Amino acid sequence: MIAGLQCVVLDCSDPAGLAEFYQSLLGGTVNQQDRRWAVGDDWATLHTSSGLVFAFQRSVDYRPPLWSDPARPQQFHMDFGVADLDQAQEQVLAMGATVLDDGPERRSWRIYADPAGHPFCLVRH
Same domain, 49 and 82: no
Average pLDDT over residues 62-91: 89
Same domain, 13 and 47: yes
The pLDDT confidence band at residue 4, using thresholds 50, 70 and 90, is confident
pLDDT in tens, 12-30: 999 999 999 999 999 999 9
Domain span at residue 91 reads: 78-124
Residue 6 is predicted with a pLDDT of 84
Q: Residue 3 domain-assigned?
A: no
Same domain, 52 and 82: no
The domain tally of the chain equals 2
Residue 89 is predicted with a pLDDT of 94
What residues contact residue 83 under an 8 Å CB cut-off, 6+ apart? 124, 125
pLDDT in tens, 83-100: 999 999 999 999 999 999
Give whole-number Cα distances, 78 to 37, 38, 40, 54, 107, in Å: 22, 25, 25, 12, 18
